[in-house]
Structure 1
Amino acid sequence: MNIVDRFINYTKINTTTSRENGAAGIMPSSLGQMQLAKILAAELTQLGLHDIILRDSAILTATLPSNSLRAIPTVAFFGHLDTSAEQNNDTHAQIVHYTGGDIVLNPTLNIILKQAEFPELSQYQNQDIIVTDGTSLLGADDKAAIAAIMHALTILIDNPDIEHGDVKVAFLPDEEQGLRGAKAFDVDSFGADFGYTLDCCGIGEFVDENWNAGDVVITFIGQSAHPMSAKGKLKNSLLMAHKFIAMLPPGEAPEYTDGREGYYWVKDLNGNSAKTVLKMDVRDFTQQGYQQRMKYLATLATNCQALWGDAAVTITLADRYQNVANSLQGDASFPIEIAKQAYARNHIKMKTTPMRGGYDGAVLSQKGLPCPNIFTGAHNFHSIYEYLPVPSLQAASNVVVDVIRITAEQYGK
């Protein structure tokens, strides 16, 4: 099976993550994720991999045994099974040969992928591009990764002259809602020395830096009263919450920031005059900046409580994940160097990208498995305009193979 057919077959399985089931602690949150995991387990079996384990959580792991007499570090590759909840329709992927201009995804519904809105399309003239019919996501986030990893395994099996150590693969559920699969993943028993996720980004992009991320819940307790006799009695918790939001630093919100600029994100506000709950995300690339932001919110809550009375404001601060850069320093930086060489061997210019988000590798790295991120080649994740140039998908798989090859060449003993 070629890499394109493999990818399109995976897109036919609806693996939309379910936020409701996820909130209830169910993993995988959707049946399609387990369906895809079972198909992958069967394919891994057919390829002859060892130690294939499919868990009730849909976490799937397997090992391609070493073909070398030398001791070679064990490298792992990760993809996630779920697709984002922004769209939950079935995917109808199609291949178009792109010659420039706009791409009509759906003439009946007049859905058009416009070059004026997505100018990076011009990089892919005279290439085959995989798109949808405009009614769903493509699911290249992250089925392109799965296809690239599986194709790389077939190359290694079909070319036994490529020396390699043990190669581990893992496919994880529910990345799209808080990296739940990675958080449940047992790094110690997996037995890899280092790894890579394949998740996001056009050809050449490489992630070795992402957010330090935190969750914040602030509860405002007011005092309800009938409006006919509310004077001096009513304490409106909704207004407390709005005043709190108004005291956040101006301009430090997602819609005003880019690059390495951190932010406070007001995500959810729910309540009435008696009780209101505000949920926020805090993001910063530096550990110091992240800690300062969390401290600022704690101090603001304390000051507001002093102003509005005891028990008027309570705040809960929680860490979600750390910047992967914290785990790729010094002796742990070698996965970056291997990736640089693998990109160069494929004549791909590496574009190091600070990811303004989280990915499974951040959690895996925090657990002790250094894990930067390789491109899949896709664009416009979480959108009906998601697209995947075929040469970029092939390039991602080629990089995986060369990472394995370079690991053996330079680190085998």
Structure 2
Amino acid sequence: MTIVERFLNYTRINTTTDRNKGAAGIMPSSPGQMELAQLLARELTELGLEDIRLRDTAILTATLPSNTSKCVPTVSFFAHLDTSAEQVNDTQAQIVAYNGGDIVLNSALDIVLKEAEFPEIAQYRGQEIIVTDGTSLLGADDKAAIAAIMHAVKVLVENPSIEHGPVKVAFVPDEEQGLRGAKAFDVEEFGADFGYTLDCCGIGEFVHENWNAGNAVVTFTGQSAHPMSAKGKLKNSLLMAHKFIAMLPPGEAPEYTDGREGYYWVKELAGNSAKTVLKMDIRDFSKQGYADRMAFLQKLADSCQVLWGEQAVHIDLSDRYENVANSLEGEASFPIDIAKEAYSRNGIEMNAIPMRGGYDGAVLSQKGLPCPNIFTGAHNFHSIYEYLPVSSLEAASNVVVDVIRITAERIDA
């Protein structure tokens, strides 16, 4: 089975995450995720891997034993089973020979992937590209990663001359709704020394830093009163919330920031004059910047409490995940160095980018398993215009093989 055939097989299983079931605590949130995990478990068995464990949560792990007498660190690779709920239709993938210009995904529905809107596609002229018929996601986020990892394992099994230490693989559910699979993952039981997720972007991209992320829930309690006798009595919690929002730093919101600029994101506001609840996301790349943002919100809430009195404002601040970079500092940076060499061996220039979002590796790193992020080769995640150049998918798998190879070679260095 080629890597492309493998990927296409995985896309035929609908693994759309179900936000309602996820919110109810059900994992996996959709039956397709377990179906895909079961298929992968069978394939891993056929490849001869050991300690294959498929849990009721659809978390699947397996081990490729070392083939060397050297004491090599255990490297691991992660991908997620689910696809985003932006689109729920079954995937109808197709392979096109791209020679430039626009790609007609669906002539009947007049759905076209336009080069003018997605100019980065021009770099793949002369290549085969996998796309959809325009009615669904492609699911390369993250089935391209699954295919790349599984193909890499196949290469190692079929080529025992490639010396390697223990290799562990893991496939987790419901990444697309709060990294739920990673949060449920038992890093200590897994027993790896370091790892990589494959859950990113175009060929060459690499992530070893992302947000320090937190949540804020601010509850405003007013005093209701009938309008005919409201003077001096009514305290409108909705207006309190709007005044609170107006006191946030101007320009420090997602729509005004990029790169390593942090923000406050007002995500949800609901209530009435008596009680209103505001939910916010807080993001910053640096530890100190994140701490300062959380401290600012606490001080703002305290100041408003003094201003409005009578327990008018209550704020609940919580951490969601840390920046992966916090786990890759100093001597712990070796996974970055190994990946950089693996990219180089494949003629790929590493483009290290700060991820303005979360991924499973952030949670895994915080749990003690350093886990930067390797490219899958796909573009336009969460969109009907998602596409995957075949050569980029192959490159991702080749990088995985070389990461494993280099990890063993470094024992002699």
Residue equivalent to 2:180: 180
Tell me by how many angstroms 1:345 deviates.
0.4
Matches of 1:408 and 1:36 in 2, distance apart? Answer: 31
Matches of 1:263 and 1:392 in 2, distance apart? Answer: 33
Residue equivalent to 1:410: 410
Residue equivalent to 1:315: 315
**Corresponding letter in the other structure for 1:66:** S
Residue by residue, what CA displacement relative to the aligned partner does 1:185-213 show, whole Å, maximum 9, x if unpaired?
A: 11111111111000011000000100000
Tell me whether 1:63 sits opposite 2:99 in the alignment. no
Tell me by how many angstroms 1:412 deviates.
5.5
DSSP-derived class of the 1:306 partner: helix
Residue equivalent to 1:33: 33
**Corresponding letter in the other structure for 2:301:** A
Tell me whether 1:164 sits opposite 2:164 in the alignment. yes
Contact 1:71-1:412 within 8 A present in 2 as well: no
Residue equivalent to 2:238: 238
**Corresponding letter in the other structure for 1:238:** L
Contact 1:72-1:412 within 8 A present in 2 as well: no
Residue equivalent to 2:117: 117
Matches of 1:302 and 1:169 in 2, distance apart? Answer: 47
DSSP-derived class of the 1:411 partner: coil
**Corresponding letter in the other structure for 2:3:** I
Matches of 2:55 and 2:372 in 1, distance apart? Answer: 25
Contact 1:78-1:171 within 8 A present in 2 as well: yes
**Corresponding letter in the other structure for 1:71:** C
Normalising by structure 1, report the TM-score.
0.98
Residue equivalent to 2:151: 151
Matches of 1:186 and 1:54 in 2, distance apart? Answer: 13
Residue equivalent to 1:390: 390
Matches of 2:269 and 2:382 in 1, distance apart? Answer: 24
**Corresponding letter in the other structure for 2:148:** A
Matches of 1:233 and 1:89 in 2, distance apart? Answer: 53
**Corresponding letter in the other structure for 1:191:** G
What runs of 5+ residues in structure 2 fail to find an aligned partner? Answer: none
Matches of 2:238 and 2:163 in 1, distance apart? Answer: 64
Matches of 1:153 and 1:182 in 2, distance apart? Answer: 22
The farther-off stretch of 125-134 and 403-412 is 403-412
Normalising by structure 2, report the TM-score.
0.98
Matches of 1:249 and 1:58 in 2, distance apart? Answer: 42
Matches of 1:88 and 1:243 in 2, distance apart? Answer: 39
Tell me whether 1:354 sits opposite 2:371 in the alignment. no
DSSP-derived class of the 1:281 partner: strand
Tell me whether 1:290 sits opposite 2:279 in the alignment. no
Tell me whether 1:270 sits opposite 2:289 in the alignment. no
**Corresponding letter in the other structure for 1:155:** V
Matches of 2:269 and 2:89 in 1, distance apart? Answer: 28
Contact 1:74-1:192 within 8 A present in 2 as well: yes
Contact 1:204-1:349 within 8 A present in 2 as well: yes
Matches of 1:300 and 1:340 in 2, distance apart? Answer: 44
Q: Provide the aligned length of Structure 1 versus Structure 2.
A: 413
Matches of 2:136 and 2:231 in 1, distance apart? Answer: 52
**Corresponding letter in the other structure for 1:317:** L
Matches of 1:38 and 1:117 in 2, distance apart? Answer: 38
Residue by residue, what CA displacement relative to the aligned partner does 1:39-87 show, whole Å, maximum 9, x if unpaired?
A: 1101101111000000011110000111112211110000001111211
**Corresponding letter in the other structure for 1:167:** V
The farther-off stretch of 202-211 and 359-368 is 359-368
**Corresponding letter in the other structure for 1:179:** L
Matches of 1:217 and 1:44 in 2, distance apart? Answer: 44
Matches of 1:411 and 1:218 in 2, distance apart? Answer: 52
Contact 2:203-2:376 within 8 A present in 1 as well: yes
Tell me by how many angstroms 1:230 deviates.
2.1
Tell me by how many angstroms 1:310 deviates.
2.0
Residue by residue, what CA displacement relative to the aligned partner does 1:221-266 show, whole Å, maximum 9, x if unpaired?
A: 1122222322222211111111111111111000100000000001
Residue equivalent to 1:100: 100
Residue equivalent to 1:279: 279
Residue equivalent to 2:23: 23
Residue equivalent to 2:217: 217
Matches of 1:97 and 1:226 in 2, distance apart? Answer: 69
- Correspondences of 1:376-387 after superposition (within 5 Å): 376-387=376-387
The farther-off stretch of 226-235 and 67-76 is 226-235
Residue equivalent to 2:89: 89
Matches of 2:220 and 2:135 in 1, distance apart? Answer: 41
Residue by residue, what CA displacement relative to the aligned partner does 1:128-174 show, whole Å, maximum 9, x if unpaired?
A: 11111111111111110000000001101111110111110000111
Contact 1:266-1:281 within 8 A present in 2 as well: yes
**Corresponding letter in the other structure for 2:91:** T
DSSP-derived class of the 2:410 partner: helix
Contact 1:73-1:412 within 8 A present in 2 as well: no
The farther-off stretch of 252-261 and 173-182 is 173-182
Residue equivalent to 1:200: 200
**Corresponding letter in the other structure for 2:68:** S
Tell me by how many angstroms 1:110 deviates.
1.2
Tell me by how many angstroms 1:98 deviates.
0.7
Matches of 1:164 and 1:81 in 2, distance apart? Answer: 26
Matches of 1:12 and 1:293 in 2, distance apart? Answer: 44
Contact 2:33-2:82 within 8 A present in 1 as well: yes
Residue by residue, what CA displacement relative to the aligned partner does 1:83-102 show, whole Å, maximum 9, x if unpaired?
A: 11211111111111111011
Root-mean-square deviation (CA, aligned residues, Å) is: 1.0
Matches of 1:232 and 1:106 in 2, distance apart? Answer: 63
The farther-off stretch of 229-238 and 197-206 is 229-238
Tell me by how many angstroms 1:34 deviates.
0.8
Matches of 1:411 and 1:205 in 2, distance apart? Answer: 27
Tell me by how many angstroms 1:393 deviates.
0.3
DSSP-derived class of the 1:161 partner: coil
Residue equivalent to 1:252: 252
What runs of 5+ residues in structure 1 fail to find an aligned partner? Answer: none
